[in-house]
Amino acid sequence: QKEVEQNSGPLSVPEGAIASLNCTYSDRGSQSFFWYRQYSGKSPELIMSIYSNGDKEDGRFTAQLNKASQYVSLLIRDSQPSDSATYLCAVAQAGTALIFGKGTTLSVSS
Amino acid sequence: NAGVTQTPKFQVLKTGQSMTLQCAQDMNHNSMYWYRQDPGMGLRLIYYSASEGTTDKGEVPNGYNVSRLNKREFSLRLESAAPSQTSVYFCASSPQPLEVYEQYFGPGTRLTVT
């Protein structure tokens, strides 16, 4: 069974802090990695994609990929209350559709 | 540019009733997907269409059928609804199938089967 694992949380951080969200996956053949943000009652919204080892930065968001460790993370710098949401990790394995983790709930307190 | 649209937004069915969920995208994407999302289960793929004229089963296809009507539209049909199909259903699309390309989601349909 190919799996994507995330800590369900909630992860609580104060406003202005760095939030670190982690995801591990089981299939070494995985090729593409995505982070989606989902506000309560809303649909998932793509915020980051990463395809090669290392870091990818976009504004306050940094995605990190380590294929040897089968690990992908999302860092949110200067966290804001508006960042409070569930963050879904999704992994694309060769020849198959996206596999989603169950999500980590982030709560940013002001 | 509306992106991915879904109708209806909410629906209540009785056990055994049938219905069709509609999805349309205006981004000229080739691939479309149907997911269901249940508490504690995450997003699970029901069916997908890699391109116009093709459909394939996902992780949880039982009890559902799909039709790729044209490049824009992909519908999901419940022939005989069961309480286990109570869920939030999301349609998504992507430029090309499966790996590599990002998927964009519609607003969802909240379905309750009593």
Please give, rounded to a whole number of angstroms, the shortest distance from the CA of B17 to a CA of chain A.
25
**Contacts with A101 from chain B: Cβ below 8 Å:** 42
Q: Identify the bridge partners of residue A33 per DSSP, sorted by sequence position.
A: A50, A91
Q: Identify the bridge partners of residue A45 per DSSP, sorted by sequence position.
A: A37
**Contacts with B48 from chain A: Cβ below 8 Å:** 97
Q: How many Cβ contacts (< 8 angstroms) between chains A and B?
A: 51
For residue A94, name the pLDDT band (cuts at 50, 70, 90). Answer: low
- Would you give per-residue pLDDT tens digits along chain B (114 residues)? 789 999 999 999 999 999 999 999 999 999 999 999 998 888 999 999 988 999 999 999 999 999 999 999 999 999 999 999 999 999 999 987 655 578 899 999 999 999
- pLDDT score of A98: 85
**Contacts with A97 from chain B: Cβ below 8 Å:** 33, 45, 48, 58, 98
First-last CA distance in chain B:
36
Q: Do B90 and A46 touch (CB under 8 A)?
A: no
Candidate from A43, A49, A94 with C-beta closest to B105: A43
Q: Which two tokens stand for residue B79?
A: 């022939």
Distance (Å) of CA A71 to CA A10, B42, B109: 20, 19, 32
Instruction: Report the distance separating Cα A104 and Cα A86, nearest Å.
Output: 5
Provide Rg for chain A, Cα atoms.
13
Instruction: Report the distance separating Cα A6 and Cα A29, nearest Å.
Output: 19
Q: Using the predicted structure, report yes or no on whether residue A96 has a pLDDT greater than 70.
A: no
Candidate from A49, A95, A100 with C-beta closest to B42: A100
Q: Using the predicted structure, report yes or no on whether residue A105 has a pLDDT greater than 90.
A: yes
Q: Do A43 and B102 touch (CB under 8 A)?
A: no
**Contacts with B101 from chain A: Cβ below 8 Å:** 32
- pLDDT score of B99: 53
Summarised one tens digit per residue, pLDDT across range A60-92 is 999 999 999 999 999 999 999 999 999 999 998
Candidate from A88, A94, A103 with C-beta closest to B99: A94
Cis link prior to B83 (omega < 30° from 0)? no
Distance (Å) of CA B57 to CA A2, A78, A93, B65, B103: 16, 42, 16, 9, 17
Task: With CA atoms as reference, report the closest residue to B37 among B83, B81, B86, B3.
Answer: B86
Q: Identify the bridge partners of residue B89 per DSSP, sorted by sequence position.
A: B36, B109
- pLDDT score of A1: 64
Amino acid identity, position A100:
F
